[in-house]
A and B are shown apart, each in its own frame.
Chain A
Amino acid sequence: MNALKSEWLKLVSVRTTWALLVAMILIEGLTAGLVTGLSDVDDLRTRDVATLANGTKLAIVFMFTLGALLSTNEFRHGTANSTFVVTPKRERVIAAKLVVGLVVGIAGALLYIAVNAGLGLSILSSRGVDVDADTAVDTYLGVGIGLVLGCLFGVALGALLRNQILTVVTGMVLFLLAGTAALFIGNDVGQYFPGESLLALNGTPGADDVLLSQTEGGLVLGAYCVVLGALGMVLTRQREIS
Chain B
Amino acid sequence: MAEIAVQRLTKRYGETLAVDDLSFTVDAGRVTGFLGPNGSGKSTTLRALLGLIRPTSGTALVMGRPFHELEKPVEAVGAALDAHDVHPGRSGRGHLRTIAAAAGIPNSRVDEVLDMVELTPARDRRVKGYSMGMRQRLALGAALLGDPKILMLDEPANGLDPQGMRWLRDILVALAAEGRAVLISSHVLSEVEQTVDSVVVIGAGRLVMQGSLADLVKGDRRPILVRSPQADELRALLVQAGASVGPDGRPDAMIVHRSSLETVGTLAAEHGIAIFELTHERATLEDRFLELTGESGNVR
Identify the A interface with B (CB < 8 A): 2-3, 5-6, 9-10, 13-16, 73, 77-79, 81-89, 240-242
Contact of B82 among A2, A81, A86 (CB under 8 A): A81
- B216 vs chain A, min Cβ distance (A): 29
Cβ of A2: which chain B residues have Cβ within 8 Å of it?
101-104
Cβ of A73: which chain B residues have Cβ within 8 Å of it?
87
Cβ of B50: which chain A residues have Cβ within 8 Å of it?
85
Please report the C-alpha to C-alpha distance between residue A2 and residue B145 in the assembled complex, in whole angstroms.
15
Q: Knowing A13-B90, A242-B53 are in contact, say whether A86-B85 is a contact too (CB < 8 A).
A: no
Please report the C-alpha to C-alpha distance between residue A10 and residue B73 in the assembled complex, in whole angstroms.
21
Tell me if B142 is interfacial: C-beta within 8 Å of chain A: yes
Interface 1/0 per residue, B83-117 and A, CB below 8 Å: 01111111100100111011110000000000000
Please report the C-alpha to C-alpha distance between residue A172 and residue B51 in the assembled complex, in whole angstroms.
34
Cβ of B98: which chain A residues have Cβ within 8 Å of it?
6, 9-10, 13, 79
- A123 vs chain B, min Cβ distance (A): 37
Please report the C-alpha to C-alpha distance between residue A14 and residue B87 in the assembled complex, in whole angstroms.
8
Please report the C-alpha to C-alpha distance between residue A59 and residue B77 in the assembled complex, in whole angstroms.
43
> In the complex, what residue of chain A is closest to B54 when comparing beta carbons?
A240
Please report the C-alpha to C-alpha distance between residue A83 and residue B88 in the assembled complex, in whole angstroms.
16
> In the complex, what residue of chain B is closest to A3 when comparing beta carbons?
B102
B73–A88 CB distance below 8 A: yes
Please report the C-alpha to C-alpha distance between residue A138 and residue B74 in the assembled complex, in whole angstroms.
48
> In the complex, what residue of chain B is closest to A74 when comparing beta carbons?
B87
Q: Knowing A85-B50, A85-B51, A85-B73 are in contact, say whether A77-B101 is a contact too (CB < 8 A).
A: no
> In the complex, what residue of chain B is closest to A241 when comparing beta carbons?
B52
Interface 1/0 per residue, B109-149 and A, CB below 8 Å: 00000000000000000000000000000000010000000
- A100 vs chain B, min Cβ distance (A): 12
Tell me if B9 is interfacial: C-beta within 8 Å of chain A: no
> In the complex, what residue of chain B is closest to A14 when comparing beta carbons?
B89
Max chain A CB contacts within 10 Å: which of B47, B70, B90, B102?
B102
Please report the C-alpha to C-alpha distance between residue A3 and residue B68 in the assembled complex, in whole angstroms.
16
Tell me if B188 is interfacial: C-beta within 8 Å of chain A: no
> In the complex, what residue of chain B is closest to A12 when comparing beta carbons?
B94
What 7 A-B pairs have minimum CB-CB distances, sorted nearest first?
Answer: A78-B85, A6-B102, A6-B101, A241-B52, A13-B94, A240-B53, A5-B101
B53–A6 CB distance below 8 A: no
Cβ of A13: which chain B residues have Cβ within 8 Å of it?
90-91, 94, 97-98
B74–A86 CB distance below 8 A: yes
Helix, strand, loop or mixed for chain A's interface? Answer: helix
A79–B87 CB distance below 8 A: yes
> In the complex, what residue of chain B is closest to A9 when comparing beta carbons?
B98
Identify the B interface with A (CB < 8 A): 44, 47, 50-54, 67-68, 70, 73-74, 77, 79, 81-82, 84-91, 94, 97-99, 101-104, 142
10 A-B pairs (CB sep. < 8 Å): A14-B89, A78-B84, A78-B85, A81-B79, A81-B81, A85-B50, A85-B79, A87-B102, A240-B53, A240-B54
> In the complex, what residue of chain A is closest to B139 when comparing beta carbons?
A82
Contact of A242 among B47, B77, B103 (CB under 8 A): B47
B101–A9 CB distance below 8 A: yes
Q: A6-B99, A82-B79 provided; 8 other pairs, C-beta below 8 A?
A: A5-B102, A6-B102, A13-B90, A14-B89, A77-B85, A83-B102, A85-B67, A88-B51
Cβ of B104: which chain A residues have Cβ within 8 Å of it?
2
Please report the C-alpha to C-alpha distance between residue A135 and residue B79 in the assembled complex, in whole angstroms.
56
- A33 vs chain B, min Cβ distance (A): 31
Please report the C-alpha to C-alpha distance between residue A240 and residue B53 in the assembled complex, in whole angstroms.
5
Cβ of B103: which chain A residues have Cβ within 8 Å of it?
2, 86-87
- B33 vs chain A, min Cβ distance (A): 21
Q: Knowing A78-B82, A81-B82 are in contact, say whether A88-B67 is a contact too (CB < 8 A).
A: yes
Q: Knowing A9-B101, A85-B50, A87-B102 are in contact, say whether A77-B87 is a contact too (CB < 8 A).
A: yes
A79–B85 CB distance below 8 A: yes
Q: Knowing A13-B90, A15-B89, A16-B89 are in contact, say whether A82-B51 is a contact too (CB < 8 A).
A: no
> In the complex, what residue of chain B is closest to A89 when comparing beta carbons?
B68
Q: Knowing A3-B102, A13-B98, A241-B52 are in contact, say whether A79-B77 is a contact too (CB < 8 A).
A: no
Cβ of B68: which chain A residues have Cβ within 8 Å of it?
88-89
- B206 vs chain A, min Cβ distance (A): 20
Cβ of A81: which chain B residues have Cβ within 8 Å of it?
52, 79, 81-82, 85
Please report the C-alpha to C-alpha distance between residue A186 and residue B102 in the assembled complex, in whole angstroms.
49
Cβ of A82: which chain B residues have Cβ within 8 Å of it?
79, 81, 85, 99, 142
Please report the C-alpha to C-alpha distance between residue A16 and residue B47 in the assembled complex, in whole angstroms.
30
Cβ of B94: which chain A residues have Cβ within 8 Å of it?
9, 13
- B139 vs chain A, min Cβ distance (A): 9
Cβ of B99: which chain A residues have Cβ within 8 Å of it?
6, 82-83, 86
- B217 vs chain A, min Cβ distance (A): 33
Q: Knowing A13-B97, A241-B52 are in contact, say whether A77-B86 is a contact too (CB < 8 A).
A: yes
